[in-house]
Amino acid sequence: MADEILDVDLLAFETGDASQRSAVVDGVMRSLAHGFVYTAHDLSDGLLDDAYGKLGEFFSASADEKEQYIVPGSFGQTGYTGLLVETAATSDVADWKEMINWGAPIPDKHPLKTNFPFRYNPPVLPEATVPGIEAVLLEFHSRIFDIQRRFLRIIALGLGCHEFFFDEMLLDGPTLTRAIRYPPMPDAPSGEHVWAGAHDDINLITALPRATAKGLQVEMPDGWVDAIPPDGQMVINTGMMLERITNGVLAPGTHRVVGDPAEPGERLSVVQFCHPTPWTILSPIPTCVTADHPLAYSSITASSALEKVLWDINLL
């Protein structure tokens, strides 16, 4: 079916022959016409289970305990963000979720940290509340980033670029990992609230390993479709920065997170937003500009593009 989310195999792309690699590239590009694809990967179940276990322990702490990890001026880029803070750009009410955010540290005198300080806050993780959580979450971040970097090589070939086109712009980029707890919907302040309103991600691509409950939905031409990857696979979706780089060839995958009345409990998920370095110029690549698909996007820095969205969603 043209509207289904396809499943591909990153490892087959990396180890297969030319025919297998070509088939993976074709499947990725066909599926990303709607912004989403499922992929097999090599993230261990043990690391994911360990991360969820420690995150569950943190989110079960008292509000006062969790609020110790709020970082003023970080705009949701590190530390804890409480309930009813982030608001989807399409919504009039805040999302019913709480989060903890982190990225990989870089040296204090690195020019990226000097020029874009709020993008490179030190990771503020609740080690004092959950001993051992910092090492687990930083390892998780590193492993997911490695998968994203490798997956972008498939997309690069699908766009007619060199396989390693994206590698340079990812070097020391402020890729952000976000663990999200969606509380039970019966506890929401009103019937207008949902876990996360319909939105597009701002970054290049987002990776979502399995969550603890369903709820993610993808907008397709015929309506909303549940995104439930096969066992052992993760979700990859496109963001607004990739849309600009591809001159709209790969539009962002619009999605939302809604509670299922049949499953009234909470939901935990961990997502990672793959960002280019803030000084990257997001400009349409030549292979995506043709007579039939003329230039439609101006150039903008990745930093400016992100700040606009952070303003729109009430974080800046």
Domain of residue 304, CATH code: 2.60.120.330
pLDDT of residue 77: 85
pLDDT of residue 104: 94
Asked, for residue 151, whether it belongs to a domain, the answer is yes
> What average pLDDT is seen over the chain?
93
Asked, for residue 123, whether it belongs to a domain, the answer is yes
- Percent of the chain past pLDDT 90, that is, above it, reads 81
Asked, for residue 230, whether it belongs to a domain, the answer is yes
Does 1 score more than 50 pLDDT? no
State the average pLDDT over residues 83-91. Answer: 82
Residue ranges making up the domain that contains 274? 11-312
For residue 270, is it left (φ>0), alpha (ψ between -120 and 50) or beta?
A: beta
Secondary structure (DSSP) of the chain:
-TTSPPEEEHHHHHHS-HHHHHHHHHHHHHHGGGTEEEEE----HHHHHHHHHHHHHHHTS-HHHHHTT--TTSTTSSEEE-TT----TT-SS--S-EEEEE-----TT-HHHHH-GGGSPPP---TTTSTTHHHHHHHHHHHHHHHHHHHHHHHHHHTTS-TTTTHHHHTT---EEEEEEE--GGGSSSTT--SEEEE--SSSEEEE---SS--EEEEETTEEEE--PPTTEEEEEE-HHHHHHTTTSS----EEE---TT--S-EEEEEEEE---TT-EE---GGG--SSS------EEHHHHHHHHHHHTT--
Tell me the per-residue pLDDT of 131-185, one tens digit each, with 9 for 90 and over. Answer: 999 999 999 999 999 999 999 999 999 999 999 999 999 999 999 999 999 999 9
Asked, for residue 253, whether it belongs to a domain, the answer is yes
pLDDT of residue 200: 94
State the average pLDDT over residues 87-116. Answer: 90
Asked, for residue 138, whether it belongs to a domain, the answer is yes
State the average pLDDT over residues 294-313. Answer: 90
Asked, for residue 2, whether it belongs to a domain, the answer is no
The tokens describing 155, both together, are: 């997309």
Asked, for residue 31, whether it belongs to a domain, the answer is yes
Tell me the per-residue pLDDT of 281-293, one tens digit each, with 9 for 90 and over. Answer: 999 999 999 999 9
Binned at pLDDT 50, 70 and 90, residue 316 comes out as low
Asked, for residue 4, whether it belongs to a domain, the answer is no
Name the pTM for this structure: 0.94
- Residue 245: phi and psi, rounded to 5, are -60, -35
Total count of domains within the chain: 1
